[in-house]
Amino acid sequence: MVIKTNSSSKLGYPDYAAIPNDGLRHEIIEGDHYVNPAPDLYHQAVSKRLQHQLYVRVELAGLGVLYHAPCDVQLSEHDIVQPDLLVVVSSRTRIFTPTKVKGAPDLLVEILSESTADHDRTLKRGLYERSGVREYWMVDPCEHTLEQLMLQDGKYQSRIVGDKLCPEFIDGVLISLEDVW
């Protein structure tokens, strides 16, 4: 659900930070406030399984840092999102602040749900592409599919993944989707 701002002002991080913690997922995209309910339990199970594999293969290997929702990612003055998962390679951790990620992570993962699928496929895809997010995964837990979008020349190139996934942004990492579903 979008809560539109008036046409003369766009919301920014101070407005976002003032939103009370009500258990819902709040985001600011292009200055507009979006609210979504908490995800269902299968969504959370898929997120946990992907998170485990990324943690073991990326963070424990010293290749990068992994965070899971809720974690604020400020992509611009008027774009603050809470992706399901995010990874920043070790050489780029300067984009971490004590309260948020400020800048484009190397990987953002959104796990689609009934209330967010269209939002994730269109609005967030465009935002992540414009913001320079190197890789974006859209995970469909109902269909057991993962679409891997890789940034090339400023545009996302799409690949539907089978049972194994090798992130483009980091060498030597293999994710088994058989263990996610």
- Whichever domain contains 117, its CATH number is 3.90.1570.10
Number of domains, the chain: 1
The runs of H, that is alpha helices, within the chain are 13-17, 41-54, 117-119, 125-131
| Residue that has been written with the tokens 């050489």 in this structure | 91
Residue 19 has a pLDDT of: 93
H/E segment holding residue 66: strand 64-68
Cα separation of 80 and 90, whole Å? 22
Q: Is the pLDDT of residue 136 over 80?
A: yes
Percent of the chain past pLDDT 70, that is, above it, reads 96
Domain-embedded: residue 53: yes
Domain-embedded: residue 1: no
Distance from CA of residue 122 to its chain's centroid?
A: 13
Query: Phi first, then psi: what are they for 41, rounded to 5°?
Result: -70, -35
Q: Is the pLDDT of residue 81 over 90?
A: yes
Q: Which two structure tokens, joined as six digits, stand for 67?
A: 């965070």
Domain-embedded: residue 125: yes
Report, as an integer, the average pLDDT of 134-149: 97
pLDDT band at 150 (very low <50, low <70, confident <90, very high): very high
Report, as an integer, the average pLDDT of 78-91: 98
Residue 2 has a pLDDT of: 60
pLDDT one-digit tens code per residue, 16-53: 999 998 888 899 999 999 998 889 999 999 999 999 99
Domain-embedded: residue 73: yes
Domain-embedded: residue 114: yes
The more confidently predicted of residues 22 and 88 is: 88
Range of the domain at 57: 39-179
Q: Is the pLDDT of residue 62 over 90?
A: yes
Q: Are 73 and 61 in contact (CB under 8 A)?
A: no
Cα separation of 180 and 174, whole Å? 13
Report, as an integer, the average pLDDT of 113-119: 91
DSSP lists the bridge partners of residue 74 as 80, 102
